Amino acid sequence: MMSDLHSSGSHIVDGSWRALGKLLIYCSGCKKDGLFNRVHVPGHFVYRTRFSRTSGKSFLLSQCRTDVLYISDPCEHLDQGEEGDIGFFRGIFKSFATSKVRKLLISRGAPLHPKEVCPYCKAKLWNMQAANMIPSSASCRLGAYDDCIEYYVCLNGHVLGICTLLPLSDTDEASEE
């Protein structure tokens, strides 16, 4: 992933290498009245992270599938009261400044969040839900409910999101249904 992000001819990653380093190892969590406005989950370092370019395709509308997005598996936070099991995910676009996603966000007049900023680089955030740019394939990839996924992309191409995870079953009955 690092070699691919570096291969675009630039010697720096959008938003700086320091921001990318933080994105790779830190789950931002959320505040009760903050970006995701759900529950309070403090940010923390993650034990293990896996980012996937293939998973990233599931987060792109069909007209943007030539863009490269690396997305993490969700960091699971179980038993969050009424919210159930939630997952936070992170990601980064390769060459976001020239991406189709960025062009589409601008052409659609997607709103920037009025006060919250990217926890990794402090840039303003586009709301992908308000831009109607969350494909149903994203919830399938995350193992989440269709209508319970929300994410933002910052001006530097960092992705941060939250989803309500589907319950996992430990019986064979669920696979038969």
Report yes or no: 63 and 104 within 8 Å, Cβ to Cβ.
yes
Please name every residue paired with 72 in a beta bridge, in sequence order, or none if there are none: 51
Q: Each residue of 35-45: pLDDT tens digit?
A: 777 678 888 88
The per-residue pLDDT for 52 is 86
Q: What is the pLDDT of residue 175?
A: 47
CA–CA separation, 80 and 139 (whole Å): 19
85 in Cβ contact with 91 (< 8 Å): no
pLDDT at 177: 46
Q: Tell me: the pLDDT tens digits for 114-147?
A: 989 999 899 999 999 999 999 988 877 787 877 7
pLDDT interval class at 5 (50, 70, 90) = low
Q: Residue 15: its pLDDT value, please?
A: 56
Span of 46-50, 94-98, 119-123, 155-159 with lowest mean pLDDT: 46-50
44 pairs with which residues across the strands?
27
Band (pLDDT 50/70/90 cuts) for residue 65 is very high
Lowest average pLDDT, out of 65-74, 82-91, 96-105, 112-121, goes to: 82-91
Region for residue 132 given its phi and psi (left: phi exceeds 0; alpha: psi -120 to 50; beta: otherwise): left
CB 89 within 8 A of CB 151: yes
Average pLDDT, the chain: 83
For residue 40, the SS3 value is coil
Burial of 115 (0-12, 13-18, 19+ CB in 10 A): exposed
